[in-house]
Amino acid sequence: MKPALDVITIGRSSVDLYGQQVGGRLEDMASFSKAVGGCPANIAIGTARLGLKSGLVTRVGDEAMGRFIREQMEREGVSTQGIITDKQRLTALVILGVRDEDSFPLIFYRDNCADMALTEDDIDEGFIASAASIVVTGTHFSRETTAAAQKKAIRIAKAHGRKVVFDVDYRPNLWGLLGHGAGESRYVRSDAVTEHLKPILADCDLIVGTEEELHIAGGSEDTLEAIRAIRAISTATIVCKRGPMGCVVFPDAIPDSLDAGVKGPGFPVEVYNVLGAGDAFLSGFLRGWLKAEPIETCCAYANASGAFAVSRLLCSPEIPTFAELQHFLKAGSRHKALRFDEDINHIHWATTRRPQSDTLMALAIDHRMQLEAMAKEIGAPVERIPDFKVLAVEAAARVANGREGFGMLIDGIYGREALFRAADHPFWIGRPVELPGSRPLDFEGGGSLGAKLVEWPVGHTIKCLCFYHPDDPPEMKERQERDLLRLHDAARRIGRELLVEIIAGKHGELKTDTVAGILQRLYDLGIKPDWWKLEPQRDEAAWHAIGHVITQNDLYCRGIVLLGLEAPENELEAAFTAAAREPQVKGFAVGRTIFNDAARRWLKGEITDEVAVSDMAARFQRLVDAWQRASGRAKAA
């Protein structure tokens, strides 16, 4: 029977905390980025991104960091069947930084950590046998219990005819050879470690390591001699990683020169951070090796994946996806520092962002100016607006009933508590950044845009409304485009999705090609939002023109949601019917059509909370039904 998985990795899993101040000491780091780390965990993610079906066997703590690892694995498509929750131990942590191109300070927090408590009992035969291969790693041979767990996995794999991959992954201080402060050190000669690893080599089908790691495995500081010593024990394919020189592979007899092995193309790039490069490398190699590609192709995948990793800051988040890798191998890059290549960065972002439903039906309650005006008109205190927005969340939750594909637009001014309550539900959440009614575009609150956005939860989408028409004065267009570019850059740098809302019809004629032309202009500037929010169009041709522009410029765009502009429900249903015929339109985000009447009556004190919630829920439900009917008809047609 064909294995369900391609590869299962075994061993370390941690949370990496990367210092964001590049060029400084760890002592001086002020902020950190969080990511999944640990060689096996990184490889599980990397192989999944490159199109393999992967799984992970490890232990994590029964706390937030352990849940983060499990949830991130699920987001990446990695099987979590082998992840055990350890209720007595904490998840391992690693503190890392980039001092310069040669120094990468690192501290392991692994004293009695969860993953080092892995035992033979954690190795499930059925799970191991479900994969075509397993990856065992050096660190987990450093302790008796974890070594026994990996040896059991090897026995099971061999019994079921599966491949065994050994990543030497040598960290001297994790073998107790150096102190806590020497996490950066990659090599200390140790005959004891060499003797410890020798029995492992005979059962391996693939052995991968740097020259120093092969020195420790082979017991010699002469690389060729070390490789020959490994060959005397093992028939495995041996892969020697050589940093900027790429790699050299020895599938059979060992030649007289390192350079006589099998090689693939190298990719000279600027070295930004070497940490995690080996895990990206092995992920790439396995993508080819497990698909029976020629060794030269395996090397190309491996070298390119490693090049991506060294050119970026973090570990697992920087490993490329297969779409990204294919683009790079085909088109290359004009940037030696790959992190500055916007085309590659966009593919990376779009193919690694959090999964989301293809449909989005959202209740918009991010209105500030309109609700302030309403409260003033009827003599109600604006302090009541936040409470009403909480009721809107309850209304949306009743309609969604825990299903995916529903969302809300909520502001942080009057909607702070509503945002907290929305987090209790599986909503897509968008938050506005524009100053209400501003034209030209301005951002709310002044000051640093990026400093504000970094405080947002990672799942919140940035929403920006821009009143933009092609006939606007050149100076206005220039200013609005500059601010949209600034916002796009901020969104990408801090890892938040972006929705750009364009309203053109309020300030000029809306022709068939008006909005399509605006989108093309913004794409030409390099602005590629995850979502567009657009007003109803005058005809079907306008929607198709818009859809064509998106398809030609960004295959990874999530799509369009339709805005309401306070239109009556019957008009919106007609707009839904026209829009649904364009595949790029994925739903709607409507506000005043749903909440206006309830807000007015509730602020006046004419209705109770329950009546307001029921009224909004009923209106939202009718729009959901209308969209689903329109979408269903369009798909049938």
Pair 123, 62 in one domain = yes
CB atoms within 10 A of CB 586: 25
The 10s digit of each residue's pLDDT in 334-391 is 988 888 899 999 999 999 999 999 999 999 999 999 999 999 999 999 999 999 999 9
Domain count, the chain: 2
**What pLDDT is stored for residue 186 in this prediction?**
64
Pair 49, 166 in one domain = yes
Angle between helices 540-553 and 514-524 (to 10 degrees): 10
Pair 303, 364 in one domain = no
In a domain, 132, yes or no: yes
Q: Report how far residue 128's alpha carbon sits from residue 157's, in angstroms, rounded to the nearest whole number.
A: 7
**What pLDDT is stored for residue 165 in this prediction?**
98
Pair 247, 395 in one domain = no
pLDDT under 50 in the chain at which residues? none
Contact assessment for residue 85 and residue 62, using Cβ atoms and an 8 Å cutoff: yes
Q: Report how far residue 55's alpha carbon sits from residue 5's, in angstroms, rounded to the nearest whole number.
A: 7
In a domain, 300, yes or no: yes
In a domain, 452, yes or no: no
Residue type, 356: Q
Could you identify the residue written with the tokens 């007609």? 574
Ramachandran angles phi, psi of 456, nearest 5°? -75, 150
Contact assessment for residue 107 and residue 183, using Cβ atoms and an 8 Å cutoff: yes
Cα 597 off chain centre by = 40
Joined tokens for residue 509: 């004629």
In a domain, 34, yes or no: yes
CB atoms within 10 A of CB 28: 10
**What pLDDT is stored for residue 187 in this prediction?**
67
**What pLDDT is stored for residue 234 in this prediction?**
96
In a domain, 458, yes or no: no
Pair 296, 375 in one domain = no
Strands, sheet with 237-241, edge to edge from the N-terminal-most edge strand = 83-86, 54-61, 7-10, 133-137, 163-167, 206-210, 237-241, 247-250
H helices within 255-382, ranges in order? Answer: 277-289, 295-310, 322-331, 342-352, 369-378
The domain boundary, picked from 318, 352, 386, lies at 352
In a domain, 173, yes or no: yes
Q: Report how far residue 210's alpha carbon sits from residue 187's, in angstroms, rounded to the nearest whole number.
A: 10
Q: What share of the chain is helix, strand, coil (3-state, %, to 5)?
A: 45, 15, 35
Pair 220, 120 in one domain = yes
Report the CATH number that the domain containing residue 12 is assigned in CATH: 3.40.1190.20
Pair 369, 347 in one domain = no
H helices within 160-210, ranges in order? Answer: 191-201
Pair 94, 13 in one domain = yes
Pair 190, 253 in one domain = yes
In a domain, 151, yes or no: yes
Pair 208, 196 in one domain = yes
In a domain, 526, yes or no: no
Pair 97, 155 in one domain = yes
Residue-range definition of the domain harbouring residue 128 = 5-352
**What pLDDT is stored for residue 273 in this prediction?**
74
Pair 229, 295 in one domain = yes
Contact assessment for residue 590 and residue 363, using Cβ atoms and an 8 Å cutoff: yes
Q: Report how far residue 548's alpha carbon sits from residue 175's, in angstroms, rounded to the nearest whole number.
A: 58
**What pLDDT is stored for residue 243 in this prediction?**
80
The 3-class SS string of 488-534 reads HHHHHHHCCCEEEEEECHHHCCCCCCHHHHHHHHHHHCCCCCCEEEE
Strands, sheet with 92-96, edge to edge from the N-terminal-most edge strand = 32-37, 14-19, 92-96, 106-109
The domain boundary, picked from 293, 323, 352, lies at 352
